[in-house]
Structure formats: C-alpha cells, structure tokens
Amino acid sequence: MLIRYGYDITVSCPQDTPLICMMEVRDERRDDLRQQVGIATTPSVPTTAYRDVFGNACRRCVAPAGLFSLRGDWTIESSDQPDPVLSWLPETPIAQLPDDVLIYLLGSRYCETDKLSQFAWDMFGQTTPGWSRVQAICDYVHNHIRFNYMNARVTRTAYEGWQEGTGVCRDFAHLAITLTRCMNIPTRYVNGYLGDIGVPVTGPMDFAAWMEVFLDGRWHTFDPRNNKPRIGRLVVAYGRDAADVPLIHSFGPHVLQAFKIWTDRVEPERVDQPA
C-alpha cells in the first residue's frame, strides 16, 4: 500500500526566529520511501538536519520576520494491515530491561507518576499483567477523557487531564503513559501521521499522538485516543512525553497562521498528482 503524506504550515514571527521542526519519518522507515518532493520553505531559507538523543529526525532553520511557510511531501510504502493485537504478551521483568528502556519507567514533564501511582495500583493492580493490563489502562483512559479540540491546552499534564477529563490525543497519551509507567511497564510517547484509512472520515487531518509499550522484549503500539487497531501509522518521533517531540520548537514567539496535513492512501498511478 502507498500512502502520500505531508504538511503545509505557515507561521508568523515578529523577528528572525530559529526553529527546530520534527515532521519527517524516522530513519527506520527511510527505505520505504518511494517518492520525495522534500522540504520547501517560503521564503526560501537554508535548512540543516540532525538526529536528537532519541534518534528523531530534526530540521533546523531560521524563520525570517513575517509570514513563513514550511512544506513537505512524500510517498511511502506501508502495510495495509491494522496494528497487531498480541493479547498473550507478558511484561518484561525490570531486571531484564535493556538499559536504554529504563528511562521510560520514570516520571517526566507531562507524566507525573508520583501523583498517580497509588491510583494506578488501586485501579489496575488486580488486572492480568502484560498486554491485558495495558489494554485495561487504555480502555479506562479512552472512556475517562472526552475528546474536544476546543479544550486543548499545551501545558496540560497527565494529572490535570485525569482531573479535568477532557483534552486531545496528547492528553489521552500522557495519561495512559503515566498509568502504565506507574505499573512498572516502560512506555514512550509517539507522534506521527495517522490518516483515516479504513475508518470514516471525521474531519481535517492532524498530527496524532499515541504510545508504545515495551512488552516481552519489544515495543508495541497502543492508542488510547482511538482505542482500536488502525492502518497506516507513520512514526515521526518518540520520547518521554510531548516536551521531547514538539512539531515546531521556536526560540522566540510565533503565531500559527495556516495548518494542513494529508495522509492518504493512493494508487501507484496517482503518486505524481499534487496534494
């Protein structure tokens, strides 16, 4: 299956402003790319790429004062199968976890494990360890938080989301990540492209947030916001929480003026058509 994905984003800056952007797929998927229009900016400015401490692809540039647009467009080959459900998988004992996984057991900027640990054990301590326990957490979060774009807040933490019971996909992810870490299961925050392939179209596309959980020696996808297997996930970045993987990090004020995302299944003969 081929998926055409990309973005067209415009911001306004009162002065020349350095930016770091994370909107390209991780290197693990580079060999799956079939067409790259690449990154373009308006006005045209130089950009440079690097990898952060999590291996995410980051791009640096300096946005000139005024309106500044970034556009990227790619086509990638991807599986047409939904996320696997491996309900028999066990947890990996902490003593057997790889060193680089241990960080995903700890609290972080938006995931206050210290505030939710007692609730997590009271709520999920009697559930079957492993996949079933993680799914029980996702079920709880999916039902506890009401999705509402109008209630989005970039500073909302997992604890605040739990108290307020409202938010967007990052809030679902932060709460589920926190509760899962409280149960001593490594969990990391993921963002990327997730289109409406195989499900009803619900509105304009956006970047999505979900989580990956370390079970039986490997990372596995869980999505407390949608809470069902989906087709065509394209991982852009992962980290401890949203603080590690902002789509745009600006070193100065900026205002979002336009935002368009596409993630569409395409036929091979249609790859060259403009988005």
Pair (266, 236) in one structural domain: no
Pair (123, 212) in one structural domain: yes
- Token pair, residue 57, equals 């692809």
The pTM of the full predicted model, rounded to 2 decimals, is 0.94
Any domain includes 230: yes
Summarised one tens digit per residue, pLDDT across range 159-198 is: 999 999 999 999 999 999 999 999 999 999 999 999 999 8
Beta bridge mates, 40: 71
* Gap between the Cα atoms of 217 and 2, Å rounded: 30
Q: Is the pLDDT of residue 58 over 90?
A: yes
Cα–Cα distances (Å) from 2 to 79, 121, 194, 206, 266, in that order, read 8, 43, 14, 19, 6
Pair (74, 131) in one structural domain: no
Any domain includes 154: yes
Any domain includes 226: yes
Pair (110, 75) in one structural domain: no
Pair (158, 221) in one structural domain: yes
pLDDT of residue 121: 98
pLDDT of residue 275: 47
Total count of domains within the chain: 2
Pair (38, 128) in one structural domain: no
Any domain includes 88: no
Summarised one tens digit per residue, pLDDT across range 212-252 is: 999 999 999 999 999 999 999 999 999 999 999 999 999 99
pLDDT of residue 274: 44
Host domain of residue 240: 94-244
Any domain includes 219: yes
Pair (266, 146) in one structural domain: no
Indicate which CATH number applies to the domain containing 169. 3.10.620.30
CA dihedral 184, 223, 172, 135 (to 10 degrees): -50
Beta bridge mates, 62: 18
What's the rounded mean pLDDT across residues 45-66?
A: 97
Any domain includes 86: no
Any domain includes 28: yes
Pair (37, 145) in one structural domain: no
DSSP codes joined into one string, 48-80:
EEEE-TT--EEEEEEEPSEEEEEEEEEEEE--S
75 touches 4 (CB < 8 A): yes
Please enumerate in sequence order all residues whose Cβ is within 8 A of that of 14, keeping only pairs 6 or more positions apart, or say none.
65, 252, 253
Indicate which CATH number applies to the domain containing 16. 2.60.40.2250
Pair (202, 263) in one structural domain: no
Pair (39, 162) in one structural domain: no
Do the bridges between strand 146-147 and strand 166-167 make them parallel or antiparallel, or are there none, so unpaired? parallel
Pair (162, 30) in one structural domain: no
Any domain includes 89: no
